[in-house]
Structure 1
Amino acid sequence: MRVLTSISGHKLNEVGRISASLEKAGFTGVTSQENRQDAFLPLAMAATATSKLELRTSISIAFARSPMSSAMMAWDIQQSAPGRFTLGLGSQVKGHNIRRFSVPWSPPAPRMREYVQAIRAIWDCWQRGTKLDYQGEHYQFTLMTPNFTPDRLEGGLPRIEIAAVGPVMLKVAAEECDGVMLHGFCTKKYLEDVVIPRLKTGLERTGRDRKAFEISGGGFVATGEDDEAVAKMFEWIRMRVGFYGSTPAYWPVFESHGLEDLGHKLNDMSKQGRWDEMTQEVSDDVVSLFAAVGRHDELVKVLTERFSKLVDVVSLPIGTPPDLIKEVRTIVTPGDC
């Protein structure tokens, strides 16, 4: 099992030192999220301070940027950290695209498919010298002159993965990408009943091997040195389930457990601005559906029961002890089977 942690939230002048310490602690890689900060800049800093740590945007908001911009930023980081960068893309929801990023909205799955295809066409032009000629409904790229063509990469192209919750985006991930970044808003039942079968179908359709495709995430992890620390994380997850559960895009997970009414109730409360009250609507049993819960001394068993042979990558808190990270990395993944 590969083990990641997030470096989001740190000042850029601290990222190099922190990333080097995480590499030394045994983490497989680090991720950055496009929440309050840019997703790419921290990884560029981490690339210069580490030698083997995997670097991933998890995720970068796709439609807020041209595929050309994402292609170039990914290229630059991969150039500085050969073979270590994964471009993780997400669509975000309609409201954020229109009202926060001021970009037009259209059905996200077909657009994301084109976005990934366009980046691959751009990279193929840069790496192999092919003529740039991508023609899609949403994106068209036909101009690339030598002055704007970067040097070829020595360590291979970056991997592309996308965030997916619903069946349609899962289909795009399986057919177009190198992996899928599952949201924390995911349960083991949804993983087994919906995610894995959908991905399997898509991979079979494109003639690809599951072992070459990466599945990361698929649930929150509530852990800590003692019960008090675990309880604190459990409450944080309760808040996140309430927040994400208010958004219709995440309701397929609720539907797999017959929790549609909870989704509608949370949605109504969010429109009324009753954010604190929303958390109270999420019971302990519902939180437990979305989280692997256990102290450090219980964690390997808990993660094995939740994720073993289903996913390839999990994320743990930045302060996880090195000995525990080493032990978690022994958990069997689909690639080991």
Structure 2
Amino acid sequence: MTEKRWGLTVPLAGPLPQQRELIAALPDLGYTDVWSSEVNGTDAFTPLALASVWAPQLRLGTAIVPVYTRGPATLAMSAATMAEAAPGRFVLGIGTSSNVIVEKWNGVPFDEPYKRARDTLRFLNAALRGEKVTHEYDTFTIEGFAPATVADPPPPVLLAALRPSMLRLAGREGDGAIVNWLSADDVRTVVPHVHAGGEGKEIAARIFVLPGLDADTSRAIGRRMIAAYMTVPVYRAFHEWLGRTDEFAGMWKSWEEGDRKGALDAIPDRVVDELIVHGPPEQCREHIERYVDAGVTTPVIALTAPGDPAEMVRALAPR
């Protein structure tokens, strides 16, 4: 029987050294995984390196490392090092990220994202298994990279994916997909595309959770988050594909006109309630379980509420 997974996004709010006690307590609370991200805070690997020592029982994953912001060989070295430090407990999650992070923050052209993800995935599948790589890919060329560190076992590689072509790539050439910004019902639309590439693939979902807040406060926070993401081209296209064009039309129109308040007001309550998990902790846990019932194998809680993260982590624990 497959182990039931219950993940948490790290790091939590506050300085990294102060999180040791809480991270160490996660396995006893029923958490199985911690997953990092890489946006504009910590890098993806350092929090996991600390967690690997503080709580050796936890599985560790990146969700995600952008394929543009590290060279392919550097990415392979970082992954192999983490996998060697935590044998059998590390999962590398990669993705294209967004034009904002790649171009505006890192000064790298956001060109041909599908091909860049595919090429990086193919390179990693060879390099992480110790193969010397000399190959001219469509988006970069590798000449004679021979990895000196090869983890045993090599880490699985998941691909962040939103729409059908990338979802199928994740299932066909990766070990599964990482998804986010979707409802529990949306999972049923997304998952078949991954399994079309291969059965038994992992589906990890980052789920934004606001436990313990009243509905009005939660929706106000949720609207700001939704507007910040759904106006980014890749996420707009994702939700157009999912069928939310009419529901987001007012937000997109107001945003393009520079009316930020109007954009927030145009987001329906129902959509906020679908995309943001909020309410009493027990209600939040039940909502998260709906994602699992729909096909997510690894739910990854991302706490976005103000307050004491330790209290929220304990309140959302599965046991």
TM normalised by structure 2 equals: 0.84
Aligned pair count reads 307
Indicate which of 22, 42, 45 corresponds to 1:40: 45
Indicate which of 131, 150, 153 corresponds to 2:151: 153
Give the 3-state SS of the residue equivalent to 1:165 in structure 2: coil
Tell me the residue number matched to 1:139.
140
CA offset digits 1:276-332 (Å, max 9, x no partner): 5432221211112224444223344433344315111113345446586335xxxxx
The alignment's C-alpha RMSD in Å is: 2.7
Tell me the residue number matched to 1:250.
235
For 1:323 and 1:285, locate their aligned partners in 2 and report how far apart those are by CA, in whole Å: 25
CA contact (8 A) 1:118 1:139 kept: no
Tell me the residue number matched to 1:22.
26
Query: Gaps spanning 5+ residues in structure 1: where?
Result: 204-208, 328-337
For residues 98-247 of structure 1, what are the structure 2 equivalents within 5 Å?
98-125=103-130, 130-144=131-145, 149-150=148-149, 152-154=150-152, 156-183=153-180, 185-193=181-189, 195-203=190-198, 209-210=199-200, 213-217=201-205, 219-224=207-212, 228=213, 232-247=217-232
For 2:50 and 2:104, locate their aligned partners in 1 and report how far apart those are by CA, in whole Å: 30
For 1:15 and 1:58, locate their aligned partners in 2 and report how far apart those are by CA, in whole Å: 19
For 2:184 and 2:125, locate their aligned partners in 1 and report how far apart those are by CA, in whole Å: 32
CA offset digits 1:208-237 (Å, max 9, x no partner): x32xx111217544433xxx4565444322
**Farther-moved stretch of structure 1 (108-117 vs 314-323):** 314-323
Give the 3-state SS of the residue equivalent to 2:116 in structure 1: helix
Amino acid at match of 1:198: H
CA offset digits 1:247-302 (Å, max 9, x no partner): 23223453356432454543454455544543222121111222444422334443
Query: Gaps spanning 5+ residues in structure 2: where?
Result: 304-308
CA offset digits 1:6-56 (Å, max 9, x no partner): 223443333444421323322111121212221111111222222111111
CA contact (8 A) 2:157 2:175 kept: yes
Return closer, same or farther for 1:77/1:190 CA change in 2, 3 Å cut-off: same
TM normalised by structure 1 equals: 0.80
For 2:168 and 2:269, locate their aligned partners in 1 and report how far apart those are by CA, in whole Å: 32
Tell me the residue number matched to 1:6.
9
Return closer, same or farther for 1:264/1:94 CA change in 2, 3 Å cut-off: farther
**Farther-moved stretch of structure 1 (17-26 vs 35-44):** 17-26
* Residue 314 of structure 2 is aligned to residue 325 of structure 1: no
